[in-house]
Amino acid sequence: MGFVHEIVPRFSFRYRGPGDFATVGEVADVGRLKDAVLDALGDADAAVDVKGHADFVRWMEARKLSKLRDAIDVYKERGDIPEPLCDAAAECCDRAKDICEESNKGAVVAFLNENLPALLDPASDDSPEDMLPAVVEVLLEFKKGIRAETLQELIEKRCFILILHHDKFLPLLRNNRLAERFLEAVVEDARTCPPRFESALRIAIVLGRDGEFKEKADWAFGELLSICRTGGAFGASALPRIIAARDAVCTLKAAHDGHAGDFEALVSELEGSLRLEMGKGGHPSSTKVDLSPVFETLKDESAPFESRMVTAILFPLSAFPSEGLREGPLGFVTQTEPKSDERFTRSYQMRLRLALSMGSHIVGGILDDDDLRDDLFRWLEITFNLVQTRTGSPSWERDFLLLLQFLSNLSDAMGQDDLEQGDLFLRTQSIGAMSFIYGFLEKAMRHMASCLLGDSSLAEMGKTTMGRLTENEKVRRALTGELCSAVEFVLSCNPNTMVGMNRRNRLAHWNDPSDEEIGCWAALEAAYLLLAAMTMSTLFFLEQEKPGCFGEDEAAMPNASGGILS
């Protein structure tokens, strides 16, 4: 939406701060850049027209461009971007500033009142992620002109979930007397969606500080306590609920909220339930699992929450029988399939579900600790190998996609948008993590190709995996042209070129990224998106070619030795 996508022919380009402007330096045709920007910001409404609201879109795009102006002179002086390109960009930014000042604010407010629910609806085609920060800024600037009915409709549609982490919106809701309904909506979502649990908790803390909303905040804490006690979105197992309750304790203590004691008492109650659960044969190798190290870590308040989380996830691995493991190309793999052992199935699937419930903020804390990161990656490889050995399980595709979602959480944790500063920062310890994830994606892709396409040669390939996959006739029939183009882009931006370089201090703040660094980050995102899309596309293609191949007939399921088409 808008000229940014026209200038920079990237898939899913998002403006993340002044550093992202460096990618424009790859555009060789300065005249094309200048003409496209001026056309988009000029009087040619067709260039930026979105359902007849060209003025609003032009105002939004101008607002984004105006943020780049301060960085232009720096790039020009340093020589990172050619001088003609800097001059053209500066001219465009100055024009953008003029448009912001000249904009008809009344028309902008009218547009928001008419179209805001649709614009922020997750199911809407008119709500691209790159516009969200700009929409937030517009709302905050014109909040006095937004009708209460508009916000009420947003709450009913749960649209505010998308902008939940903008604390400045709480005063906006409070001014419109909608805070209570907003909190009720988020708590309701928390019953079925684990990530909403943290959001509801945080909002309840903020509203609870206002005496006017204390009663409603107390109600929310009680409901969240009930969700942890009964399971809800966290499932029947006690372990994920312990993690959620522990997370709540840490959050509440940090906020000096008195409800922390209620959640601490619940943790003790759930730990007793976990002992009973494991004693009933929920573990694959023994009905007598020593949980004392787990509980010692969980109860150690001096230990970071991330450490307690990793301990809770990893402890089942310590009980795997050593004779059942062997060293393999992806790490430790099970030597023999555990056949139809339902206890084993429940154990590894529980860990998959738990990993899926880990938010990017938790994974981010793990990535910041070298030891925890190594443990987590070892767990990830072992879990992937367990999925790989379940060749007869009808849940193979589901488990594989669960792992892909977890990889997405890892990717999200390694970079985040600071919407106020406009800068993308990369965690200091994430260079090795980026390299590992990229390599893991290639391993996963090789296995997927071998299983689904029946082409054993794909499983033996090295770094050319993605290039070879696009040459496969079946893959080409299953993928779109856009995804094939994405493969070529990924191959041109291998993040392994960053390994060993002493750039951690620069990357920690992402103040002046080079084109190579930007390409590496884009390659990581592209690799994940490509793998996920390729998995789904190939599954769809195979189902069309051989109906029922993923049905109940276990003999027709893909397997590591050949595949259903071999």
- Name the pLDDT band for 200 (thresholds 50, 70, 90): confident
Q: What pLDDT does residue 544 have? A: 47
Of the given ranges (154-163, 267-276, 515-524), which has the lowest mean pLDDT?
A: 515-524
Q: What pLDDT does residue 223 have? A: 93
In the numeric block, which tokens belong to residue 386? Answer: 């367990």
- Span 60-85, average pLDDT: 57
Model confidence at 217: pLDDT above 60 = yes
Q: What pLDDT does residue 364 have? A: 52
pLDDT tens-place string over residues 156-194? 665 655 554 455 555 556 555 667 777 888 888 788 766
Contact 319, 348 (CB under 8 A): no
Contact 183, 164 (CB under 8 A): no
Q: What pLDDT does residue 207 have? A: 78
More confident residue, 73 or 28: 73
Helix (H, G, I), strand (E, B) or coil at 391: coil
Model confidence at 199: pLDDT above 70 = yes
The CA distance from 411 to 536, in Å, is: 19
More confident residue, 551 or 220: 220
Instruction: Give the total residue count for the chain.
Output: 566
Contact 76, 97 (CB under 8 A): no
- Tokens 């993923």 belong to which residue? 550
pLDDT tens-place string over residues 111-153? 777 777 666 655 555 444 445 555 666 666 666 677 777 777 7
- Span 197-224, average pLDDT: 84
Amino acid 50 reads: V
pLDDT tens-place string over residues 302-333? 555 445 555 544 444 433 333 333 333 333 33
Phi, psi of 530 (to 5 degrees): -65, -45
Mean of pLDDT over the chain: 54
Of the given ranges (87-91, 113-117, 223-227, 557-561), which has the lowest mean pLDDT?
A: 557-561
Phi, psi of 43 (to 5 degrees): -90, -5
Q: Work out the percent of the chain whose per-residue pLDDT is above 70.
A: 18
- Name the pLDDT band for 58 (thresholds 50, 70, 90): low
Q: Where are the beta strands (DSSP E) in 107-164?
A: none
Of 90-94, 334-338, 427-431, the range with the highest mean pLDDT is 90-94
| Single pTM value for the model | 0.39
Model confidence at 244: pLDDT above 60 = yes
Model confidence at 512: pLDDT above 60 = no
Q: What pLDDT does residue 316 have? A: 42
Q: What pLDDT does residue 222 have? A: 93
